[in-house]
Amino acid sequence: MFKISVKFMKSRFNRYEERKRMVERLKEELNISDRVFRAMLKVPRHLFVPPQYSREAYSDYPLPIGYGQTISAPHMVAIMCDLLDVLPGHKVLEIGGGSGYHAAVVAELVGKNGKVVMVERIPELAERAKNTLEALGYDNVKVVVRDGSGGYEEEAPYDRIYVTAAAPEVPEPLLKQLKPGGKMVIPVGDAIQELYVIEKDWSGRIRKKKWGGVRFVPLVGKYGFRF
């Protein structure tokens, strides 16, 4: 993020024009915020997908990233970022880091005074994500390998938490690790899943709202599904 020059950003190699078309379409269709629009315009999604899918990186659908997992569709990333209302300086926890793409978009939103803690349970994916994020200069993202269904107590509490794998129910430890005044976005369900937007008010009370139907890979672990 901080190491990329404007010249590189807009070069053909960086596929700026393709990305711009994609985010402009998202803005038209979903009315995403300017902040999320600008963040997504900066992140080269094609560098987060396996080479054989690079050509499709600016199409609006999920793509396989190996190990039976997928990088979320760009519209889902945009919707979740807007629902989460990430602000500069926030400390954000992501469970289900996968390719690292969503983490990079959130890293743009929190800026250099903020921090993203990305938790991924598959070591090979975490390693690849870490390398990509480092190469792009995202030094405000910390990559952790573990079952994140119980969160990441070491850096709690968080201003924002989001989960990009579907849980059987909202894991209690994640609610505990959310700051008062904080927000969480998490898909819940099995065959039928709904995206929940959860708010913890200043007195610690939890309020849940359902946003609508979604489709994510399962959250696997102690507070997730057990396979």
Whole-angstrom distance, CA of residue 91 vs CA of residue 216: 24
- Report residue 17 as tokens: 């024009």
Candidates 5, 11, 72, 149; catalytic one: 72
CB 220 within 8 A of CB 121: yes
- Report residue 117 as tokens: 């803690």
Span 165-224, contacts to ligand SAH by CB under 6 A: 165, 217, 219-221, 224
Q: What is the DSSP letter of 159?
A: E
3-state secondary structure of 182: strand
148 binds ligand SAH (CB under 6 A): yes
CB 96 within 8 A of CB 171: no
Among 74, 96, 114, 187, the residue binding ligand SAH under the rule CB under 6 A is 96
**Owner of token pair 């039928």:** 192
Q: Is 203 a catalytic residue?
A: no
Among 1, 109, 143, 149, the residue binding ligand SAH under the rule CB under 6 A is 149
Whole-angstrom distance, CA of residue 179 vs CA of residue 135: 31
Among 78, 122, 141, 174, the residue binding ligand SAH under the rule CB under 6 A is 122
**Closest separation between CB of residue 124 and ligand SAH, Å?**
10
Span 30-89, contacts to ligand SAH by CB under 6 A: 69-72
- Residues in contact with ligand SAH, counted by CB under 6 A, come to a total of 26
3-state secondary structure of 148: helix
**Closest separation between CB of residue 24 and ligand SAH, Å?**
21
Among 19, 102, 130, 183, the residue binding ligand SAH under the rule CB under 6 A is 102
User: What is the widest separation between alpha-carbon atoms in the chain?
Assistant: 51
Task: Output 64 or 181, the one with its CB closest to ligand SAH.
Answer: 64
- Report residue 99 as tokens: 């390719």
Which residues of this chain interact with ligand SAH, rule CB under 6 A? 69-72, 95-99, 101-102, 119-122, 125, 147-149, 164-165, 217, 219-221, 224
Residues labelled catalytic: 72
